[in-house]
Chain A
Amino acid sequence: MKIQGQFYPEGGSQCLLAEVTFSQSGALLLTVTEQNISIQLSRDELQIKDKLGSIPREIMLSGQGLLSVDSTPETDLWLGAEKKSNRLANIESNRSMVLLSLILVPAFLYAFFKYMIPGFAVHFSEYVPEYAVKIASEHTLYSLDKTLLNESEVDAQLQQTYKDNWQDTLSQLTLNDAHYNLNFRESDKMGANAFALPDGTVVVTDALLTLIDNNEDLLQAILLHEIGHVENKHSMRLIAETLATSLAIDYFFGDLGGMIEVFAGLSNTIVQNQFSQKLEWEADNFALEQLQTLGLDPESFAKAMEKLAATLPQESKLDALMQSHPLMKERIENARGRK
């Protein structure tokens, strides 16, 4: 078979129009008549770049230069004869393979984010050493104290009563051996809020106590939710999930660049909110179970949520995608459903 190709001799930007012959015996003969060039090589001596779509085929002529020829069925057949350089392109242009990918890509992505990443996160959280958790908690509390939190203005005696009652509650439950230290802080920026650090340090803001009218039943319900995060190692799981999601989105879709970043950023947020919401549900249900163990009414949890919901703007269905916590309405319904 005889065709024309572009020959770029090594060591320059020269381009010559060449006549190329592919022989049945597997030899390639390249001639440029005006320049008296004639190169003959066997197929094993050629470095043939894999076929890709309909781009021209590039062939490195063992140190003598580059040959570029059009991708035609005949040429591809000859070039792919031994080294299987057409294999990937055949898969990529196979109609049933494309259809299969169209179905499997969304399915696998769903399974990957829904089951594999959370599963991996649970394993990861079990391998995080105790001291790392301790350092993480101490450093976090330290930086929060320096920035967002101030000393509590709640009466010291009252603080002690809350702490004693909390320890009393804890002693009635079977929990991991974390030390659930209760702390109080004042903060304008955080408002009515409570959070637990992964080592069991629980922080409640003064504004939250005011919001629940210093009702201890409601406080217990909220604290149980917070330690639900600690018991199930939620911080570590969220860390692993965030890391794995960012890497996966970057490596699956990162090649395309540009406005994709807005799109990828948005999907990243939505996926991570789903993870976070799942953890909140776990903590809610943990708190509700413990309330029942203690012989307390799950209603106190529902009431605490209602008080919090009153401070927030009304939620729409769209918020389920855009926020890290499940919809308040659903959380309250879930608590009432326990009775």
Chain B
Amino acid sequence: MENTETSVTPSVDNYSTTHISGVKFHGQAGEFFSIWIVNLLLSIVTLGIYSAWAKVRTNRYFYSNTEIDGHRFSYLGDPIQILKGRIIGVILFGAYFLASAFSPIAALVIMLLLLAATPFLICLSIRFKMRMTAYRNVRFNFNGSYGEAFVMFIVLPIASIFTLYLIMPWVLKKMDEFIYSNVTFGDKKVQSELKTGEYYIASLGAFFIGVVLFAVAMFAIGGSLAVLTDPEAMAQMSYSLIIMMVVYVLVILLASSFYTARIRNHIFNHSQIEQVASFQSNLTFGQLVWLRLSNFIAMVCTLGFAMPCHGLMCAPHAFMLKLHR
């Protein structure tokens, strides 16, 4: 993680020129673990009701421990509001689940309704997340319209099916553009100029990594199975099933990391908040794979007790801001 190159003097207003700042994260694994485990206990004994308060505390911990240029972020979420949202969520999910369990036909109808509501839900969730985030006592916001979201998240993906997904990378670009260029910080807009070519490179790269690795893995597993054809070795079947699952997770991990690292860098390097800041990100494929892999291994080895550390390790990496003043 990079430290600020400027002094930590909080009063940014004195700067007259552009300067660069990194992201500092102050969270500590031990401290967060004890917060997490106590909140988890409270959530369980209250049958999930306290989970709304736990969520606010978790988010506040991450936001307030993230520092850029001498200032921390703030999370403004209200537990009661989150609890209400969760109750509505339980009712909707329960209704959907029960209806679909009782009738596959009802499930189909509800799925279509849900699909139509997806853009609405995406907008609501991004808006909520942005409005609950503040930096220097200024709130973020999101102004994406439902109509536009409908085009981005429903019409274009369906249209891409008819092009055999050939325009999918462009659709992914349009989605990201929709999300980022509708974010505001106070009265300043985020401007992002994303390039379609970059999305094609990232998508095709991820696709080929996935296909090639999967083919190699299948070939290797198939070869080892062919050797073990006698019936006793068939008992190894379920073990090879486990191996296949692990291979599957690894392939997905590698392919998605390639995409994520590239696109994340591209989005940040081509976005800015007008007159406030531009971003620089140079997260490498290797860094991201290592980050995700070590998280996963830690989680499996500790039977999930390393779970809270996951968030801590995912705190901003290889990220800088150029602040204009």
Contact = CB atoms under 8 A, between A and B. Distances in A.
Interface of A: 6, 8, 10, 12-17, 49, 52-56, 58, 65-66, 68, 88, 91-93, 97-98, 100-102, 104-105, 108-109, 112, 132, 135-136, 139-140, 142-143, 239, 242-243, 246-248, 251-253, 255-260, 262-263, 267, 313-316, 318-319, 322
A56 B72 contact: yes
Nearest to A66: B137
Interface in B86-140: 86, 90, 93-94, 97-98, 101-106, 135-138
B237 interface: yes
Contacts of B74: 58, 66
A252 B13 contact: no
Contact of B295 (A8, A247, A258): A258
A65 B134 CA distance: 13
A21 B38 CA distance: 34
**Is the contact region of chain A dominated by helix, strand, or loop, or is it mixed?**
helix
B10 interface: yes
Contact of B38 (A14, A101, A315): A101
A10 B186 CA distance: 12
B37 interface: yes
A146 B199 CA distance: 41
A92 B34 contact: yes
Contacts of A97: 38
A252 B64 contact: no
Contact of A263 (B33, B71, B304): B304
Given A260-B310, A322-B241, A314 B64 contact: no
Contacts of A132: 102
B102 A139 contact: yes
Given A91-B38, A318-B242, A55 B60 contact: yes
A252 B71 contact: no
Contact of A252 (B40, B72, B292): B40
A255 B12 contact: no
Contact of A260 (B9, B61, B232, B307): B307
Contacts of A257: 311
Contacts of A246: 97
Interface of B: 9-13, 26-28, 31-35, 37-41, 43-45, 48, 51, 54-55, 57-61, 64-65, 71-72, 74, 86, 90, 93-94, 97-98, 101-106, 135-138, 186, 231-232, 234-239, 241-242, 249, 276, 292, 295-296, 299-300, 304, 307-308, 310-311, 314
Most chain B CB inside 10 Å of its own CB: which residue of A16, A55, A108, A322: A55
A140 B104 contact: yes
Q: Which 7 pairs show the lowest CB-CB distances between chains A and B? A: A8-B137, A55-B64, A139-B103, A136-B102, A101-B41, A66-B137, A143-B104
Contacts of B186: 13
A101 B40 contact: yes
14 contacts: A8-B136, A14-B13, A15-B11, A17-B9, A17-B10, A53-B65, A54-B26, A92-B38, A92-B39, A139-B106, A243-B98, A251-B48, A252-B40, A256-B307
Nearest to B59: A255
A250 to B, nearest CB: 9
Nearest to B106: A139
Contacts of B39: 92
Given A17-B11, A251-B51, A136 B60 contact: no
Given A105-B37, A105-B40, A255-B55, A313 B64 contact: no
Contacts of B11: 15-17
A252 B48 contact: yes
Given A88-B57, A139-B102, A251-B43, A314 B51 contact: no
